[in-house]
Amino acid sequence: MVPLDYYLVLSAMIFAIGAIGVLVRRNLIVVLMSVELMLNAVNLTFIAFSRYLGSMQGQVVVVFVMAVAAAEAVIGLAIIISVFRHRRSLDPQEMQLLKW
Amino acid sequence: MVTPTQAVTAVDFLRWMPLIPLLASLINIFLGSRLGKRTAGGLACAAVLASFAIAVYVFWLLPATGVFQDTVYTWFESGSFRIKLSFQVDALSAVMLLVVTGIGFLIHIYSLGYMAHDEGIIRFFVYLNLFIFFMLLLVMGDNLLVLFVGWEGVGLCSYLLIGFWYHDHNNTIAGNKAFIVNRIGDFGFLLGILLLVTELARQGVWTLDFMELQQHVNLLSPEKIALITLLLFVGATGKSAQIPLFVWLPDAMAGPTPVSALIHAATMVTAGAYMTARLHFLFSLAPEILSLIAIIGAATAFFAATVALTQNDIKRVLAYSTVSQLGYMFLALGIGAYSAAIFHLFTHAFFKACLFLGSGSVIHALDGEQDMRKMGGLRSRLPITYSTYLIATLAIAGVPFTAGFFSKDLILWQTYSSPHGSTGLWLIAWVTAGLTALYMFRQVFMVFHGNSRVDEHVKAHIHESPPVMTIPLVILALGSIFAGWLGAPEYLWGSRWDQWLGPIFGGAHEGAHGSLAEEINLTLMTLGISGLGFVLAYVAYARPSQLRDRLAALAGGAPYRLLLHKYYIDELYDFVVVRPFTYFSRWLAQVFDPGVIDGLVNAVARGAKGFSLVWREVQTGNVQHYLVGFLVGTLALLTYFLGQQ
Contact residues on chain B for A19, CB-CB shorter than 8 A: 631
Backbone angles phi, psi at B587, to 5 degrees: -60, -45
Mutate to test the interface with B, among A20, A22, A80 (most CBs of B within 10 A): A22
Alpha carbon of A6: minimum distance to chain B alpha carbons (Å): 22
- B521: helix, strand or coil: helix
Alpha carbon of B639: minimum distance to chain A alpha carbons (Å): 16
Contact residues on chain A for B624, CB-CB shorter than 8 A: 22-24, 92-93
Asked whether residue A96 is domain-assigned, the answer is: no
Contact residues on chain A for B628, CB-CB shorter than 8 A: 23
Residue A92 has its nearest CB partner, among B616, B622, B631, at B622
CB of B343 within 8 A of CB of B487?
A: yes
Residue B627 has its nearest CB partner, among A22, A93, A95, at A22
Asked whether residue A97 is domain-assigned, the answer is: no
B619 inside 8 A of chain A by CB: yes
CB of B27 within 8 A of CB of B43?
A: yes
Helices B314-334 and B271-278, axial angle in degrees (round to 10)? 10
How far is Cα B440 from Cα B389, in angstroms, rounded to an integer?
10
Partner-chain contact B620 A22, CB within 8 Å = no
- List, in sequence order, the alpha helices (H) in B203-337: 210-216, 222-239, 248-251, 257-261, 271-278, 280-283, 287-308, 314-334
Asked whether residue A26 is domain-assigned, the answer is: yes
A98 to chain B: nearest residue by CA?
A: B621
pTM of the model as a whole: 0.80
Amino acid at B626: Y
Alpha carbon of A92: minimum distance to chain B alpha carbons (Å): 7
Amino acid at B504: I
CB of B522 within 8 A of CB of B413?
A: yes
Q: Measure Cα distances from B203 to B170, B196, B207, B280 in Å.
A: 50, 11, 11, 21
Tell me what pLDDT residue B2 has. Answer: 38
Helices B222-239 and B271-278, axial angle in degrees (round to 10)? 160
Q: Measure Cα distances from B151 to A87, B37, B47, B136, B268 in Å.
A: 79, 29, 21, 10, 9
CA angle (B271 as vertex; B268, B272 as ends), nearest 5: 130
Mutate to test the interface with A, among B615, B623, B631 (most CBs of A within 10 A): B623
B623 inside 8 A of chain A by CB: yes
Q: What is the pLDDT of residues A48-86, one digit of tens each?
A: 999 999 999 999 999 999 999 999 999 999 999 999 998
Kindly provide the ipTM of the predicted complex, given to two decimals.
0.85
B631 inside 8 A of chain A by CB: yes
Contact residues on chain A for B622, CB-CB shorter than 8 A: 92-93, 96
Bridging pattern class, strands B7-10 and B66-78:
parallel
Number of compact structural domains in chain A: 1
Partner-chain contact A97 B621, CB within 8 Å = yes
Partner-chain contact B621 A23, CB within 8 Å = no
Helix (H) or strand (E) segment spanning residue B580: helix B579-587
Alpha carbon of A100: minimum distance to chain B alpha carbons (Å): 7
Asked whether residue A99 is domain-assigned, the answer is: no
How far is Cα B570 from Cα B558, in angstroms, rounded to an integer?
17
Helix (H) or strand (E) segment spanning residue B535: helix B516-537
Tell me what pLDDT residue B552 has. Answer: 60
Instruction: Name, in order, each residue with C-beta under 8 angstroms of A59's C-beta and a sequence gap of 6 or more.
Output: A46, A47, A50
Rg (CA), chain B: 30
Tally of CB atoms within 10 A around B298: 27
Q: What is the pLDDT of residues B9-40, one digit of tens each?
A: 888 888 999 999 999 999 999 998 888 888 99
Mutate to test the interface with B, among A15, A17, A23, A31 (most CBs of B within 10 A): A23
**Residue ranges making up the domain that contains A50:** 4-91
B626 to chain A: nearest residue by CA?
A: A23
Enumerate residue ranges in chain B where pLDDT < 50. 1-3, 508-510
What pairs with residue B89 in β-bridges? Answer: B68
CA angle (B343 as vertex; B314, B408 as ends), nearest 5: 60
What pairs with residue B313 in β-bridges? Answer: B371
Asked whether residue A100 is domain-assigned, the answer is: no
Residue B631 has its nearest CB partner, among A19, A97, A99, at A19
B617 inside 8 A of chain A by CB: no
How far is Cα B629 from Cα B240, in angstroms, rounded to an integer?
78
How far is Cα A1 from Cα A8, in angstroms, rounded to an integer?
14
B616 inside 8 A of chain A by CB: yes
Amino acid at B414: Q
Alpha carbon of A20: minimum distance to chain B alpha carbons (Å): 9
Average pLDDT over chain A reads 91
Partner-chain contact A93 B627, CB within 8 Å = no
Asked whether residue A82 is domain-assigned, the answer is: yes
CB of B353 within 8 A of CB of B321?
A: no
Instruction: Name, in order, each residue with C-beta under 8 angstroms of B287's C-beta and a sequence gap of 6 or more.
Output: B420
Mutate to test the interface with A, among B609, B617, B624, B635 (most CBs of A within 10 A): B624
SS3 annotation, B607-640: HHHHHHHHHHHHCCCCHHHHHHHHHHHHHHHHHH
How far is Cα B287 from Cα B295, in angstroms, rounded to an integer?
12
Q: CATH code at A13?
A: 1.10.287.3510
Asked whether residue A98 is domain-assigned, the answer is: no
B618 inside 8 A of chain A by CB: no
Residue A96 has its nearest CB partner, among B622, B627, B628, at B622
How far is Cα B31 from Cα B34, in angstroms, rounded to an integer?
5
Tell me what pLDDT residue B508 has. Answer: 44
Closest by Cα among B346, B203, B222 to B290: B222
What pairs with residue B82 in β-bridges? Answer: B77
* Strand ranges inside B154-196, DSSP E: none
A99 to chain B: nearest residue by CA?
A: B621
CB of B50 within 8 A of CB of B20?
A: yes
Burial class (CB in 10 A: 0-12, 13-18, 19+), B569: middle
Partner-chain contact A99 B624, CB within 8 Å = no
